[in-house]
């Protein structure tokens, strides 16, 4: 080996190991070989929703599992020219779906937000900078993910909320409840139980059941972060997720009219579509219920509680499209729940009309405040910013008691332009929290329905406070080919069943994981797995 070749070899090895070391805290790695040139896939067409994208693998081992480890800085190496230090401030584990969610912000960027949810190594997430750069982490297939830079100039269409018309049935069934005194905050701790219902088409669009669970949990985290950001002692609690085979979001039916019809059918009790949702809602004591669809007829729509009353419980429904990718779905989810809690849009959008619970029940948009680019709170439409492509959305409820870069994010009660969503929600909290009241259910069930070839589904069934469960599995699979697996809370395999199944047994703990795995063979009716608390 010549001296020059030796120097070149040493330099190459040194550079390689230096590169590996430097990237040791990078969350993403390209799916192409190191020696290949990274294709940025930049698209300068402003009529597209994605500016550029790339496929990546995720180093899940870098994500800490305990709160004590949250001082770890993880680098989000999104593109060659985009790399952010992710400061994790919260880690949440959901036993309902075996999902972990990491949330926080970009170090040094006050207006930023980061949320990443992972279910069985399937991630969904987004990064939103204070300068309104948005990046999504989406799932493709075979544990491969894609990073996308969002074209913020192409925002999805938002729709006005609906003021429900009370039916005769509502009047007969509702019991009058006392309202909180206007201006008085809710009690110290309030929890709103929420339930997400998603269509089969929505599940397929996001990439499967694990991806859907990741998306839903990222929505829950985003909502709870909005409350903590706004100094509100309120949380939402995810009590259940349900899949429905509702056909409206199938190809050819994704018009605005069909989108709006879906919400009407979702709310209705005698529409012939999803009517069982009301029974399930009662079972799990869900105060608020939201339908996720794959439909581009609109980003979201919900009923608005224009008059604070328990009567509104039959209208506490909303719909959100997941077709516009994860960040906008998260934004729409909290926005539509905001309507259910009595908050209307910003005054520009509402043309200064009030649809909310109180005169101040508005979102807030400021074109000049913040860091010079303005801002819009959760219930405001950033599209209405007088200065084009500014007023980035911040995950805060409007309130005059807090500031964003030294600018108040609301206007106090009594002003003709008052905007105080925080006060609205606190005043309505006792009403919303009691749309459905009571302890957690003592029984929960997973119905697989008729399955298909080459499927691998799973569901974690959980009963809060249970020490011992009665587990019952009943149904039919093709013997010798399609199996049902039952795991305990520690992940140990307890049962493997096939054929004509009718099995009941007792298990210690508060949760189980049920799994249905099929091969390339005939389909069968599937199984029903239920757990009942016995202690």
Structure tokens, 1 = 């080996």
Instruction: Let me know if residue 2 belongs to a domain.
Output: no
DSSP-derived secondary structure letter, 411: B
Q: Are residues 220 and 289 in the same domain?
A: yes
The first and second tokens of residue 110, run together, are: 């006050």
How many Å apart are CA 363 and CA 69, to the nearest integer? 36
143 and 220 fall within a common domain: no
**Domain shared by 108 and 197, yes or no:** no
In a domain, 327, yes or no: yes
Return the SS3 of 51. Answer: strand
Range of lowest pLDDT (250-254, 255-259, 333-337, 442-446): 250-254
What is the model's pLDDT at position 170?
Answer: 45
Among 102-106, 234-238, 357-361, 455-459, the least confident range: 455-459
Nearest-angstrom CA–CA distance, 150 and 156? 12
The pLDDT score that the predictor gives to residue 114 is 95
- Min mean pLDDT across 26-35, 378-387, 415-424 is at 26-35
Query: What pLDDT does residue 428 have?
Result: 94
State the pLDDT confidence band at 445, using cuts at 50, 70 and 90.
Answer: confident
Q: Is residue 139 a contact partner of residue 154, using CB atoms and an 8 Å limit?
A: no
Residue 137 pairs in a beta bridge with: 125, 147
Question: What average pLDDT does range 509-514 have in this prediction?
Answer: 84
Q: What mean pLDDT comes out for the span 250-268?
A: 74
318 falls within a domain: yes
The predicted pLDDT at position 246 comes to: 83
Q: Is the pLDDT of residue 371 over 60?
A: yes
CATH classification at residue 524: 2.60.120.290
What's the token pair of residue 180?
A: 């909180």
Quote the domain boundaries for residue 231.
168-172+186-340
Tokens for 429? Answer: 């909290």
Indicate if 192 and 142 belong to the same structural domain: no
Which of 69, 71, 75, 91 has its CA nearest to residue 21?
Answer: 75
**Does residue 475 lie in a domain region?**
yes
Please tell me the pTM assigned to this model.
0.74
Look at residues 293, 322, 340 and tell me which one is the last residue of a structural domain: 340
Q: Contact, 372 vs 202, CB < 8 A?
A: no
**50 part of a folded domain:** yes
**Among 151, 247, 193, CA closest to 437:** 193
Query: Do 351 and 335 form a contact (C-beta atoms < 8 A)?
Result: no
Q: What is the pLDDT of residue 296?
A: 78
Question: How many CB atoms sit inside 10 A of residue 438's CB?
Answer: 10
Mean pLDDT of 238-266: 76
Burial class (CB in 10 A: 0-12, 13-18, 19+), 515: middle
Q: How far apart are CA 170 and CA 489, in angstroms?
A: 42
CATH number of the domain that 289 lies in? 3.40.390.10
Asked whether residue 365 carries a pLDDT value surpassing 80, the answer given is yes
Same domain for 131 and 190? no
pLDDT at res. 17: 36
For position 491, what pLDDT does the model report?
79
Residue that wins the pLDDT comparison between 30 and 471: 471
234 vs 236: CA distance, rounded Å: 7
DSSP 141-210: ETTEEEEEEE-TTSPPPP---B-PPPPHHHHHHPPP-PPPPTTPPPPS-EEEEEEEEEEHHHHHHHTSHH
* Model confidence at 37: pLDDT above 90: no
Pairing of strands 288-293, 317-321: parallel
pLDDT, tens only, 93-125: 887 888 999 999 999 888 899 999 999 999 999
8 Å CB contact between 370 and 402:
no
Where does residue 37 rank: exposed (0-12), middle (13-18), buried (19+ CB within 10 A)? exposed
Q: Would you say residue 321 lies in a domain?
A: yes
- Are residue 117 and residue 59 in the same domain, yes or no? yes
Q: How large a percentage of the chain has pLDDT more than 90?
A: 44
What is the spatial distance between Cα 154 and Cα 151, in angstroms, rounded to a whole number? 6
Counting residues of the chain whose pLDDT is more than 70, the rounded percentage is 80
Please report the DSSP string for 266-301 in residue order.
HH-SSSSSSTTHHHHHHHHT-SEEEEEE---S-SEE
Beta bridge partners of 101: 92, 117
User: Residue 2's pLDDT band (boundaries 50, 70, 90)?
Assistant: low
Task: Report the chain's mean pLDDT, rounded to a whole number.
Answer: 81
- Mean pLDDT of all residues in 131-148: 91
Burial track 468-491 (b if 16+ CB lie within 10 A, e otherwise): ebebbbebebbeebbbbebbbbee
- Residue 410 covered by a domain: no
Kindly tell me if the per-residue pLDDT of 451 is higher than 50: yes
Assess whether pLDDT exceeds 80 at residue 65: no
For the chain, how are helix, strand and coil distributed in percent, rounded to 5?
20, 30, 45
Q: Looking at residue 427, what is its pLDDT?
A: 93
283 in any annotated domain = yes
pLDDT value for 189: 41
Residues 471-489, mean pLDDT to the nearest whole number: 88
3-class DSSP state of 469: strand
In the structure encoding, which two tokens stand for residue 378, read together?
Answer: 């959760």
pLDDT given at position 21: 35
Q: Are both 92 and 199 inside the same structural domain?
A: no
Instruction: For residues 366 and 390, give the distance between their C-alpha atoms in angstroms, rounded to a whole number.
Output: 10
End-to-end CA distance of the chain: 75
The model's pLDDT over 67-100, given as tens digits with 9 standing for 90+, comes to: 555 457 799 999 999 999 999 888 888 878 889 9
Give me the mean pLDDT over the 185-206 stretch. Answer: 79
pLDDT at position 224, please?
93
pLDDT of 403 > 90? The answer is yes
CA geometry: angle at 442 spanning 440 and 444, to 5°?
A: 95
249: region left, alpha or beta (phi > 0 left; psi from -120 to 50 alpha)? alpha
Per-residue pLDDT band at 33 (split at 50, 70, 90):
very low
Is the predicted pLDDT of residue 389 greater than 60, yes or no? no
Report the domain count for the chain: 3
């Amino acid at each position: 080996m010549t001296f020059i070749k030796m120097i070149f070899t040493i330099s190459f090895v040194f550079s390689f190991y230096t590169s590996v070391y430097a990237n040791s805290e990078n969350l993403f790695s390209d799916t192409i070989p190191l020696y290949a040139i990274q294709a940025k896939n930049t698209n300068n067409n402003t009529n597209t929703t994605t500016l550029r994208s790339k496929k990546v693998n995720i180093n899940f081992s870098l994500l800490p599992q305990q709160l004590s480890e949250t001082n770890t800085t993880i680098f989000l190496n999104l593109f060659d020219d985009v790399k952010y230090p992710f400061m994790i401030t919260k880690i949440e584990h959901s036993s309902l779906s075996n999902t972990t969610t990491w949330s926080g912000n970009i170090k040094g960027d006050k207006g930023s937000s980061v949320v990443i949810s992972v279910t069985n190594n399937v991630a969904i997430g987004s990064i939103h900078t204070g300068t309104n750069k948005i990046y999504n982490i989406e799932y493709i297939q075979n544990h491969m993910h894609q990073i996308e830079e969002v074209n913020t100039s192409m925002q999805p269409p938002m729709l006005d909320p609906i003021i429900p018309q009370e039916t005769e049935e509502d009047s007969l069934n509702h019991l009058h409840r006392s309202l909180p005194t206007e201006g008085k905050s809710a009690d110290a701790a309030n929890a709103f139980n929420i339930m997400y219902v998603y269509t089969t088409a929505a599940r397929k669009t996001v990439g499967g059941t694990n991806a859907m669970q990741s998306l839903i949990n990222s929505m829950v985290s985003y909502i709870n972060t909005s409350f903590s950001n706004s100094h509100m002692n309120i949380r939402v609690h995810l009590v259940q997720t349900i899949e429905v085979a509702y056909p409206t979001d199938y190809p050819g039916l994704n018009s605005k009219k069909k989108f709006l019809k879906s919400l009407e059918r979702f709310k209705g009790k005698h529409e012939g579509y999803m009517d069982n949702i009301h029974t399930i809602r009662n079972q799990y004591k869900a105060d608020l219920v939201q339908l996720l669809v794959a439909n581009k007829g609109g980003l979201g729509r919900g009923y608005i509680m224009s008059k604070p009353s328990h009567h509104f419980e039959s209208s506490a429904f909303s719909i959100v499209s997941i077709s516009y990718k994860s960040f906008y779905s998260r934004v729409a989810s909290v926005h539509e729940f905001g309507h259910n809690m009595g908050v209307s849009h910003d005054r520009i959008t509402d043309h200064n009309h009030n649809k909310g619970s109180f005169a101040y029940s508005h979102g807030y948009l400021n074109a000049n405040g913040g860091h010079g680019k303005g801002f819009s709170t959760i219930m405001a439409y950033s599209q209405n910013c007088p200065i084009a492509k500014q007023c980035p959305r911040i995950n805060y409820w409007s309130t005059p008691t807090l500031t964003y870069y030294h600018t108040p994010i609301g206007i106090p009660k009594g002003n003709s332009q008052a905007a105080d969503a925080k006060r609205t929600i606190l005043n309505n909290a006792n009403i919303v929290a009691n749309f459905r009241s009571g302890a957690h259910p003592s029984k929960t069930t997973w119905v697989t329905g008729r399955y298909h070839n080459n499927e691998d589904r799973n569901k974690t069934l959980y009963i809060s406070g249970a020490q011992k469960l009665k587990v019952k599995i009943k149904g039919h699979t093709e013997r010798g080919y399609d199996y049902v697996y039952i795991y305990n809370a520690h992940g140990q395999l307890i049962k493997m069943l096939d054929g004509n199944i009718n099995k009941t047994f007792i298990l210690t703990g508060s949760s189980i994981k049920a799994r249905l795995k099929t091969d390339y063979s005939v389909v069968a009716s599937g199984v029903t797995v239920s757990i009942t608390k016995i202690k």
